[in-house]
Amino acid sequence: MFIMAQKQASQELTASKPASAKVAIKIDKVEDKKGTWAVDTYDSNKALRSSFSLEIEHISNEKIEGNYCYISNYGRQEDCLSKFSGTALNTNNPSATNARYSVSFHSSFKNLPGKATLDLSNNTITWDLTEFPTNMGGSIPKHAILTKDNSQLPSS
């Protein structure tokens, strides 16, 4: 489903409009961070310029694993299905409001390695690139604040 959604997003980038208001999500445990987190950027004409998402597949107080997808340049460039894994930096008592992880990944562009930190707060995940893949033919956000993908929420 994640792959299909990203492919559909790629095809619809130039025709997309900004999403409506987002729903606030209360997250009490680190394990509740599983799922898709995303951020979109738009140009001045409200055309979708880029989309960055993290799919967290496994998370605990010690480890995190998943993949990321970055679609940029109005859908003309994709770095998707790129796995990441890492360990907690604050193992004393991580919670959903203060967990921090150091992650390593390999970009789908030439399988180049990189590193980032993920800071988990109650309603966001902040991505900060700490080691950029050298000689990378693609791009990846240096800094991004992602929110929970509301389409995963159960309907009420």
The per-residue pLDDT for range 60-116, each reduced to its tens digit, is 888 999 999 999 999 998 988 889 999 999 766 555 457 899 999 988 877 788 999
Spatial distance between the Cα atoms of 40 and 24, rounded to a whole number of angstroms: 17
pLDDT > 90: what percent of the chain? 42
pTM passes above 0.95: no
**Counts for the chain of helices (H) and strands (E), in that order:** 1, 8
pLDDT score, position 71: 93
Higher-scoring residue by pLDDT: 121, 42: 42
Question: Nearest 5 degrees, angle CA 58-CA 110-CA 80?
Answer: 40
45 burial via Cβ count (<10 Å: 0-12, 13-18, 19+): exposed
Quick one: pLDDT at residue 101? Answer: 94
> Contact at 8 Å (CB) between 82 and 67?
yes
Average pLDDT over the chain reads 77
Mean pLDDT of 29-39: 83
Task: Assess whether pLDDT exceeds 80 at residue 16.
Answer: no
Please say whether the beta carbons of 124 and 147 come within 8 A: yes
Question: Residue with structure tokens 């992880």?
Answer: 101
The 10s digit of each residue's pLDDT in 139-151 is 789 999 999 875 4
